[in-house]
Amino acid sequence: MGRLAYVNGRFVPHRKGQVHIEDRGYQFADGVYEVVPVADGHPVDENLHLDRLEYSLSALRIAMPMRREVLKLVSHEVIRRNKLTNGLLYMQVTRGVAHRDHKFPKHAKPALVMTAKQTKPPGAAELNAGLGVVTRPDIRWKRPDIKSISLLPNCLAKQEAVEAGAGEAWLVDEAGRVTEGSSTNAWIVTKDKRVITREAERRILNGITRRVLLNIMQAEGYSFEERPFTLEEAESASEAFLTSSSNFVMPVTKIDRRMVGNGEPGPLTQALRKAYIASFAPDGSIQ
């Protein structure tokens, strides 16, 4: 049995999964999503992801497609049927199917799709090289705290990063301060070893990896600040890294044309990657 997708109540072969042409997700990007890491067959920080799903849905006044406990059962079944060990679970909820009209339909039923994808954590060579990022103006709407499927500015920025030979784009607000990456949160470490990341106001997505890492840092006594940092600060930082469900904690070794520190992943970044991964895979099976 190959990959399976869950589409509105049915499990279907992944390549045969289909949604209606008048699904509002397709026509208006009227929907939200979650990407949940899966380790050893179990979703990581599942409740935090489901809390954020509920937050995004309620911000757009879309109902939960099913009760949380049922949603968990279905997602575990997606993981099981796909024999997923380590990878990502994707869930998307849209407002549903209705004749094309901007205002909310009266009777649409939220549409739910889930898929699972096996992924390979980066090898030693990739981790030692770290990622380069390019900086781009943040042209997104003013509610990136909602995990909306409307990701065009994010896709444009990522594509520009790839075309510039980089791995991610860091988005910069009107005041020259970094908001976050196109699909990751952005962090720097100052020369006096303070870890800085933007506070979770409406200009960024409050990453689950970000939140869990902040808790770890708090518990382990790291010194950190949640505040915006400027591009100049990023350029003179001693370390930089990014976080997300698909990257965990990933060193950033170049910002635009400048090396960060000596151009190698910093010691604090490496320690934080270890500590984050140990929070869900304490057996050392993931590096």
24 binds ligand PDD (CB under 6 A): no
- Which of 102, 226, 206, 53 is closest to 144 using CA atoms? 206
Q: Which of 72, 109, 147, 274 is catalytic?
A: 147
Is the CB of 150 or the CB of 236 nearer to ligand PDD?
150
Is the CB of 115 or the CB of 184 nearer to ligand PDD?
184
Q: How many residues belong to the site for ligand PDD (CB under 6 A)?
A: 14
Q: Which stretch binds ligand PDD (CB under 6 A): 6-14, 96-104, 178-186, 257-265?
A: 178-186
- Which of 170, 270, 275, 177 is closest to 221 using CA atoms? 275
Judge whether 117 counts as a catalytic residue. no
Q: Which stretch binds ligand PDD (CB under 6 A): 7-15, 122-130, 181-189, 264-272?
A: 181-189
245 binds ligand PDD (CB under 6 A): yes
CA 266 remoteness from chain centre: 22
Is the CB of 8 or the CB of 209 nearer to ligand PDD?
209
209 binds ligand PDD (CB under 6 A): yes
Q: Are 35 and 245 in contact (CB under 8 A)?
A: yes
CA 246 remoteness from chain centre: 7
User: Least distance (Å) from ligand PDD to the CB of residue 90?
Assistant: 8
Is the CB of 35 or the CB of 64 nearer to ligand PDD?
35
Token pair 């960060």 is found at 260
116 binds ligand PDD (CB under 6 A): no
150 binds ligand PDD (CB under 6 A): no
E-strand spans in 120-212? 131-137, 168-172, 177-181, 185-189, 195-197
* Phi/psi at 10 (5° precision): -130, 145
Pick the binder of ligand PDD from 161, 180, 196, 272 (CB under 6 A): 180
Per residue, what are the HEC states of 74-113? HHHHHHHHCCCCCEEEEEEEECCECCCCCCCCCCCCCEEE
244 binds ligand PDD (CB under 6 A): yes
User: Least distance (Å) from ligand PDD to the CB of residue 279?
Assistant: 13
Pick the binder of ligand PDD from 78, 84, 205, 255 (CB under 6 A): 205
Decide: residue 235, CB within 10 A, 0-12 exposed, 13-18 middle, 19+ buried.
Answer: middle
Q: Are 168 and 161 in contact (CB under 8 A)?
A: yes
Non-local CB neighbours of 261 within 8 Å, separated by 6+ positions? 237, 238, 239, 253
User: Least distance (Å) from ligand PDD to the CB of residue 185?
Assistant: 5
CA distance 59 to 13: 32
234 binds ligand PDD (CB under 6 A): no
Q: Which residues are marked as active site?
A: 147
Binding-site ranges for ligand PDD (CB under 6 A):
35, 180, 183-185, 205, 207-210, 243-246
